């Protein structure tokens, strides 16, 4: 078990909350997805992906390799998100606060999981 376990748990809660907000995307999420030209036919994939990430982080508290894998996958996810914002010319709040903030958070959690990997 990771000690301390709370960074994984916090990121899992954030990911689960994000998944819930994507089931029927809230207005700001819809606007963000449209701004980066993410095809609407794929929006339905976001909740299961985000719930899988939350589950991987929670299970990773007891299974450290899964924590490392999941945190790494989230870093990749948010690198793609940042890239999509840049390519779309969306240099506002969604890029600098949401996508970049989550990317930095996921990098920190990944670094943590690697540092405390038994």
State residue 57's pLDDT score.
Answer: 97
Sorting pLDDT into bands at 50, 70 and 90, what band is 117?
confident
Full residue range of the structural domain in which residue 107 is found: 6-116
Evaluate whether residue 1 is within a structural domain: no
Query: Is pLDDT of 2 > 80?
Result: no
CA atoms within 13 A on the CB side of 46: 23
How many Cβ atoms from other residues are within 10 Å of residue 46's Cβ? 18
- Total domains, the chain: 1
Can you tell me the mean pLDDT for 28-38? Answer: 93
Query: Is pLDDT of 96 > 80?
Result: no
How many angstroms separate the CA atoms of 91 and 36, rounded? 11
State residue 70's pLDDT score.
Answer: 98
Residue with tokens 């508290």: 61
Mean pLDDT value across the chain: 93
Cis peptide before 4 (omega within 30 of 0): yes
Evaluate whether residue 38 is within a structural domain: yes
């Amino acid at each position: 078990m990771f000690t301390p376990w709370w960074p994984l748990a916090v990121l899992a809660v954030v990911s689960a909350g994000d998944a819930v907000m994507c089931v029927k995307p809230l207005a700001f999420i819809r606007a963000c997805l449209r701004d980066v030209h993410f095809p609407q036919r794929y929006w339905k994939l976001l909740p299961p992906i985000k719930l899988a990430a939350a589950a991987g982080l929670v299970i990773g508290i007891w299974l450290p390799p899964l924590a490392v894998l999941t945190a790494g996958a989230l870093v990749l996810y948010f690198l793609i998100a940042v890239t999509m914002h840049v390519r779309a010319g969306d240099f506002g709040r969604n890029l600098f606060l949401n996508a970049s903030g989550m990317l930095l958070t996921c990098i920190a959690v990944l670094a943590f999981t690697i540092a405390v990997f038994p």
